[in-house]
Amino acid sequence: MKEHSIDYDVIILGAGPAGLAAGIYTIRRGMKTLILETGIPGGRATTAPWVENYPGFDEPMTGLELTQKMYSQLNRIGGEVTSEEAVSLKLDEPIKTVMTRKRKYTAKTVIIAIGVNRRQLHIKGEMEFLGAGVSYCSLCDGPMFRGKKVAVIGSGEEALEDAKHLTDIASHVILVSNDLKFSIPNRLLEPLKATSKIRILEGYEVQSIEGERTVKSLKLKCLADGKPISLDVDGIFIAAGVVPMTDIIATAGVEVDKRGCILVNRKQATNIEGVFAAGDCTCGGMQIATAVGEGAMAAISASRIAE
């Protein structure tokens, strides 16, 4: 009986920093590799206005510049990114199947590096001032607001952590709930109320972000009496959560948590043999550097199976 032919040693879903790093590693290890990406190589990282915490560069660069370097490295060793969207997966057999709108691909292993989308507020000024005072990552962009006044918008523990982190950088931090009430337990919220650098606002609706070339103010409406309030701020950090892009992943049997984040072990392995995940879709460090490290680890783990 003729053995079923396998197209690839590994299929990588996503070409953000995690997917590009995984591809660089698998190709250099001699694995026949397919990288599928619906957007541009580099993913969401391409929108970062400045990257100052990625090791190995003595000068900051834009996210686009950094990811272009990663993509150029991939191209130099013979790798490329195929612009196709995976619409169906069959992962629970030794030969994995990935269906796109164009064709069916098979592989011995699959690395999922599809990232996440940051949950947006969909208010006036949010996209206009992205990179000019509006950020979704306090760890990435917080240092640019040293000694300045900033607001953090969010109702959960992510917003709490961002506010705590920014107190070491900014002169003043305003934590604004984007819901009627915070979903943060009181035992975690109370210590912040005693911090002189933090002001906590609950029961306000975020209306708009105002400015000229950069952010100047945040407009709110009190939900109790409808009165408007304007906060003069230099920066706004939106911590409204993430929207994992894992619908077809969960349908294929890959375990995710209640947020939709893919569950992995230290080798980036999922609950399915031969299937790995890396980068923001695991909701780990949510940094370019951690995504690259996870992508490399996933590739090393996948190569051991594909041998």
Whether 23 and 12 have beta carbons less than 8 Å apart is answered as: yes
Whether 95 and 195 have beta carbons less than 8 Å apart is answered as: no
Last residue of a domain, one of 214, 238, 262: 238
Last residue of a domain, one of 221, 238, 255: 238
- Domain assignment present for 96: yes
Structure tokens at 253: 């049997």
Whether 287 and 89 have beta carbons less than 8 Å apart is answered as: no
- Domain assignment present for 16: yes
Q: What is the spatial distance between Cα 175 and Cα 193, in angstroms, rounded to a whole number?
A: 10
* DSSP H or E run through 18: helix 17-28
Q: What is the spatial distance between Cα 61 and Cα 50, in angstroms, rounded to a whole number?
A: 5
Same domain, yes or no: 106 and 250:
yes
- Domain assignment present for 93: yes
Residue type, 199: R
At residue 3, the pLDDT reads 44
Same domain, yes or no: 33 and 60:
yes
Residues in the chain with pLDDT values less than 50: 1-3
Q: Could you say which DSSP state residue 137 is in?
A: -
pTM: 0.74
Same domain, yes or no: 33 and 171:
no
Same domain, yes or no: 221 and 149:
yes
Same domain, yes or no: 51 and 152:
no
- Domain assignment present for 97: yes
Residue 106's CB: how many other CB atoms inside 10 A? 17
Q: What is the spatial distance between Cα 136 and Cα 238, in angstroms, rounded to a whole number?
A: 5
- Domain assignment present for 26: yes
* Cα→Cα distances 289→51, 107, 196, 295, Å: 10, 27, 33, 10
Query: Which has the closest alpha carbon to 35: 77, 94, 92, 93?
Result: 77
Sign of CA dihedral 220, 222, 223, 226: negative
Same domain, yes or no: 112 and 251:
yes
- Domain assignment present for 125: no
Same domain, yes or no: 53 and 110:
yes
Q: Could you say which DSSP state residue 104 is in?
A: E
Number of domains in the chain: 2
Same domain, yes or no: 97 and 139:
no
Same domain, yes or no: 250 and 201:
no
Structure-token match 């950094």, residue found: 66
Q: Which domain holds residue 195?
A: 134-238
Burial of residue 210, with CB atoms counted within 10 A of its CB: 0-12 exposed, 13-18 middle, 19 or more buried: middle
* DSSP H or E run through 61: none
* DSSP H or E run through 127: none
Residue type, 172: H
The 8 Å CB, 24+ separation contacts for 26-29 are 26/111, 26/299, 26/302, 26/303, 27/74, 27/77, 27/78, 27/79, 28/77, 29/299, 29/303
At residue 276, the pLDDT reads 98
Q: What is the pLDDT of residues 79-129, one digit of tens each?
A: 999 999 898 999 999 999 999 988 999 999 999 999 887 788 889 999 999
Percent of the chain with pLDDT over 70: 96
Same domain, yes or no: 261 and 112:
yes
At residue 116, the pLDDT reads 80
Same domain, yes or no: 105 and 146:
no
Same domain, yes or no: 277 and 215:
no
- Domain assignment present for 62: yes
DSSP string, 187-213: HHHHHHHT-TTEEEE-SEEEEEEEESS
- Domain assignment present for 216: yes
At residue 4, the pLDDT reads 53
Last residue of a domain, one of 206, 238, 270: 238
Q: Domain with 65 in it: what CATH number?
A: 3.50.50.60
At residue 18, the pLDDT reads 97
Number of H helices, E strands in the chain: 7, 17
Residue type, 212: E
